[in-house]
Amino acid sequence: MTSAVPSYSMTEQMVCATSRLIRDGEVVYVGVGMPVISALLAKRTHAPDCTIVLETGIVRTAAFPLPALLDTLTTQAGADVLSSAGYVNALAQRGRIDLGIIGAGQVDRFGNVNSTVVGPYDAPTLRWPGAGGACEIASLCGRFIVAVNQKRQRFPARVEFLSAPGYLDGGRPARDAAGLRPGTGPANVITDLATYAFPAGVMQLASAHAGVPLARISEETAWAVVDPARSYPTTAAPTEEELRVLRNDVDPNGIVLRPIRQRDRGPVEKAPTI
């Protein structure tokens, strides 16, 4: 007899799905929020030997308390290196950073990211805070992941402003022609509905989260991301151990999880059948 799998939020599903893509021993470049919490979960579970690089210039091989902001006493204390954004971007340019994780305002079918404006730049209908270090992460890291809640407006066929490059017009040749580091580019997009990959330089659905119908994924995407002739796997649910570590060790004060949970579509009550 197996024990019941505890309920979990779609935010927790996103964190766990993103965390699992971090390989042990990798150097991971992250920003605030979903990227850093995913890296810390990996560090405390399946990837204890990963190195976490914060976009403020802090390099750490040891875990640390989840910060509300990245450049704090808790992120600095015990760090291996206290440097600058220029230093860690230079590491990425030299091929020393394996993976970057970023958020987005919009992401299109080629993995291009917009975190700047919707509408005309000088008179936008929406202005986000800006790319921050996303352009450097997307341009220089070995591969990168985008973690973002999925709405149709956030998943246009083409982004309205290019804040960080994916496969540009599609495929590695487009990145190479633009002078970006060869072999780099988007690897995955993780949302509150599904996971995606780029097997040919174009975003394709990889798995749907438990309880999310394919029709919902289609509705929230501005291009045909679901092939009706295919069947898709269900994203592996967070394990009891992942949830325990995430809630009790990584984010016990709800710095990231609690505010986002309030916007979730509700918990999944049982694990899917894979």
What is 83-118 written as a DSSP string? --HHHHHHHHHTT---EEEE--SEE-TT--EE-SEE
Residue 132: its pLDDT value, please?
Answer: 87
Write out the two tokens for 46.
């399946």
What residues act catalytically?
Answer: 55
Residue 57 within any structural domain of the chain: yes
What pLDDT, on the 0 to 100 scale, is given for residue 70?
Answer: 82
Residue 270: the pLDDT is: 39
Q: What is the pLDDT of residue 3?
A: 44
Assigned domain for 268 exists: no
CA 152 from centroid of its chain's CA atoms:
18
pLDDT at 32: 87
* Gyration radius of the chain's alpha carbons: 18
- Could you say which DSSP state residue 234 is in? B
CA distance 15 to 146: 12
Give the structural domain span for 244. 10-260
Question: Is 79 within the bounds of a domain?
Answer: yes
Return the pLDDT at 123.
93
DSSP state of 250: I
Here the tokens at position 99 are: 């993976």
CA distance 126 to 240: 39
Q: What is the pLDDT of residue 6?
A: 57
The verdict on residue 267 lying in a domain is no
Residue 83 is predicted with a pLDDT of 95
CA 12, CA 4: separation in Å to the nearest integer? 17
CATH of the domain at 142: 3.40.1080.10
Tally of domains in the chain: 1
Distance between CA atoms of 169 and 207, rounded to whole angstroms? 24
Q: What single DSSP character describes residue 77?
A: T
In a domain, 3, yes or no: no
pLDDT averages per 10-residue partition of the chain, 274 residues: 65 97 98 94 98 95 92 91 95 96 96 96 93 93 97 96 95 90 94 96 96 97 94 97 97 83 44 30
